[in-house]
């Protein structure tokens, strides 16, 4: 395979960032390689894709910023520590795309919800949609 499509890129980024959150001492490249090796829909034999590495590193580098934004939209009494890790990572991916990859907010939110369909449940999808719409599309 020569390159990842945008959906595969987002999915691999989500899985890599999730893996890094579970094992903060792991090396980004090793986790990304494991994600690519473990996906039956991807055959990857080349060097790791730089766009994926850039995305994963960008999300990790800015996660405190994204978590502050998420926290602004939580109900009273809720903190980011109470949230499901998959939900947090999906929202971080979308926020990174809008802020640093210049992806239109509607596309980033839609993609996050598509990934949420595979990795979370209906309640999480509704929660993610609510937070991202408030955070990324204010005033619409």
pTM (2 d.p.): 0.92
| CATH code (residue 108) | 1.10.940.10
Give pLDDT, residue 40. 67
Give pLDDT, residue 140. 55
Gyration radius of the chain over CA positions: 15
Q: Per the domain annotation, does 109 fall within a domain?
A: yes
pLDDT at 109 over 70: yes
- B/e letters for 89-107, b = 16+ CB within 10 Å, e = fewer, are bbbbbbbbbbbeeebebee
Q: Per the domain annotation, does 10 fall within a domain?
A: yes
pLDDT at 43 over 70: no
Q: Per the domain annotation, does 82 fall within a domain?
A: yes
Q: Per the domain annotation, does 12 fall within a domain?
A: yes
pLDDT band at 137 (very low <50, low <70, confident <90, very high): confident
Q: 3 vs 44, which has greater pLDDT?
A: 3
Mean pLDDT of 72-101: 95
Q: Per the domain annotation, does 118 fall within a domain?
A: yes
Q: Per the domain annotation, does 1 fall within a domain?
A: no
- Give CA–CA dist 102/99, Å, rounded: 6
Give pLDDT, residue 38. 80
Q: How many domains does the chain have?
A: 1
């Amino acid at each position: 395979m020569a390159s990842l499509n945008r959906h595969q890129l987002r999915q691999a980024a989500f899985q890599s960032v999730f893996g890094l959150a579970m094992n903060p001492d792991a090396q980004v490249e090793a986790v990304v390689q494991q994600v690519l090796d473990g996906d039956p829909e991807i055959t990857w034999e080349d060097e790791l894709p730089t766009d994926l590495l850039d995305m994963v590193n960008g999300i990790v580098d800015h996660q405190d910023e994204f978590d502050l934004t998420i926290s602004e939209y939580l109900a009273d009494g809720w903190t980011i520590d109470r949230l499901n890790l998959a939900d947090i990572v999906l929202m971080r991916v979308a926020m990174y795309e809008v802020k640093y990859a210049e992806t239109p907010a509607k596309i980033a939110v839609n993609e996050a919800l598509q990934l949420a369909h595979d990795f979370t449940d209906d309640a999480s999808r509704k929660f993610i949609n609510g937070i991202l719409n408030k955070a990324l599309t204010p005033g619409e």
